[in-house]
Every structure is written in structure tokens, then in C-alpha cells.
A and B are shown apart, each in its own frame.
Chain A
Amino acid sequence: MSPDDSQITDEDFVRLLTSYHRRMLHYVCALVTNRAHAEDVLQEVSIALWEKRHQYDPDRNFFVWMRGFARNKVLDYYRQQSRAPAQLSEETVHRIIERVDAQQHAVEDQLVALRGCLQDLPEQQRLLLAKFYEPLSNVELIAEDLNIKSSTVYVRVHRIRKSLLKCVHRNMNRMGVFV
């Protein structure tokens, strides 16, 4: 096998990046909870991946390779944030990353469990959640639509997320997921 055979074409690399985009977004969002910031971090990750694309060995798992870049960019993000005193320390972020990494193999099962739980939600709650998670959603506008206070929107979403979390874990246990 010649050295060139071990590399993928730029076209294939773009295809890989595109097909893993949502999975990468999920990973970064699990570490950076603000969606806009997470998308910025993901953009940084994509640029870094593109710059290092020739180092990618197609025999390796692309997602595992990508996670290494994402971890570094997430740590960079928190280092920058620490100058504005409103975020987590590097030590804590390392603890979170370790835990998130340990669960990556089960993300698909979690999504299956979540799918079932969302179906069981009352329609009103599902619609509120959909509005809340819409890209560029505005809580003030949601509150205005529902004729409630913004703080009430957050309280309701908190309750829904708590019940979804319980439901997902219950379903995961029922599914007998291996860890």
C-alpha cells in the first residue's frame, strides 16, 4: 500500500465531517451548554480537523479522532471564559469531559430512550419544549405567546427536563444497556 492509499480525498473528508456534524454537535453541547457558544466551538473544531485532515487514518474511528480535537477546543473555550468570572474551572471541566467520554458509546441508546419519552409527553409540554429548543428561540416571546412570565417558562422547562431525565434513565435500565 502506498502512502497515498492511506489517506482519504478532501471530498470524502468533507462527507465525513458532514455526516458526523450532528454527533459532534451533541458531544460539544454536552460540554458547553450554551448553544451559540457550542456552535462557535464546533466551528473551531471543524477548522482544526480540516487543517489536520491529512493526518487522519481512515482505519481509525473518525468520531474518536474528532473528540480529541473537540476536547482541546472545549478546554480553550473554558480558559477564555475564566477571564470573565462566570464559568467552570479547568479541573472541573476535565472531570466533566471524563464522564461524558465514558458515556459516548451509549448516546444512541439514550436517544432511543428519549424518543419514547418525548412521545409520552403531553402535547402541550412537547410543544413548549420544541419552541424552547428552536434555533434562535426567544424565551420572552414564548412567554408572551403563552401569557406567562419568562421565569415561568424556565420553571416549566426545568420540570419537563427533570421528568424526561427520569424517564430516559428508567428506559435505559429497562433496555438493559451494557456499560
Chain B
Amino acid sequence: MKKYILLTLLIMLATVIFTACNSEPDNIPDSGNPIHEAENTPPVSDNNTADNSPGDNNGLEAPSDGQTDAGNEDPAGPDVFFLVISGVEINLDENINNIIDQLGEPIVPVFEVQSCAFDGMDRIFRYPGAELYTYPSGDDDFIHTIAFYDDTIRTPEGGVRLGSKVQSVFDTYGEDYELESGMYKFKRSDTLLEFLVEDEMVIGITYRLDIEIQIG
């Protein structure tokens, strides 16, 4: 009888071990967000950083020849989309502490909400012209979305900003985009740059990691 029980337990053990070798890593809720893969280094862009301080163009229309204060020497363009605020390059999936170190504290207290089911806080940092949305991973927060909220900042490549004409988007980023209900989506690696256009005018600019975040 003992032999049968022993055999049974051995079969069970083998089953569990076999499954262990063939299954995906666990994805149970933990203290982190699955987006970030533990590395803290932001994606490296090969673009020059540039001062893009607000207020240097009083007209609504940005230059369309690409000769803004942001460099774009590589004709193929950088590997990823990034933003420049006050000379500081801001990359998606970058540790927000890097930004705080260079740009200082946000202009209003950080908007913090506890993640619905996971430990840690989702945070939104407001800097001049844009809000940076972060997700928690370990002890740090990483940027997953950057959204323009006024026309005081521009995209580094072509100086597109809220209120620009849609043609300046095409002049700067070409026509390799996906159009969805007035939203022009450009993709580089796993970063997205989206322009929402209404009546030929840009009314929304958003940088995103190519992931979907749901709240609730």
C-alpha cells in the first residue's frame, strides 16, 4: 500500500515539476507593474537634446522646415520618440527621478493615486506644458505617458504644438502614420507619438509607451 501512495506522490511531484518547466513565469499580483523589466536605464535616443523653452514663438504656427531648437541630424530620425522641456530630454520608460533631478519639482503637488489592486502609487507630475504619467516598479516610478496640456511646449523634431496646423505634422514626421478617428499615430520602436487633429488643427499631443493602461 505504501508503495502505491509513494508512487502516487511521485507522479504528482513529476506533474508539478513538469508543469513548472513549461509554463510562463507567474503573473500574480505583486508589488510591481509588469510593464517595466527592472532595468532603470531609459531608452537611449540618438537625437540631440535641445532647449525648447516656452514662449519663444508667439505665433500659433510652428516652423515647418524642421529647423527648430531641437536637433534632428539623423535623417532616419531617432529610435524612439522623446520630449524636451527646458533643455531636459524626457524619455518614455525613464525613471521620473532623473527628470526631477534635472527639471526640479513639478509645478503643482504630484497627483497620486493608489493602484486599484497593486501595491504602489500611480503618479502624475505636471511640468510646464505637459503632464508625465508614471507607473510604480520597485521603489521607483517610470514614465508611461506624456500629455501636452497647453501650447507652451513643442515637439523637439519639428516644433509641433497644440494649435499647429496638421500639415506641420506631416512635414515633420512624414506620412507613415496610422489614422484613427482624427488621431495620427506615429510609431518608433515601442514608443508612440499621437496627434489629435480637429479642423486641420492639432488639439492633442501625447507620447505613450505602446501599451494600454486601464484604471478602475
Tell whether A and B belong to one assembly: no
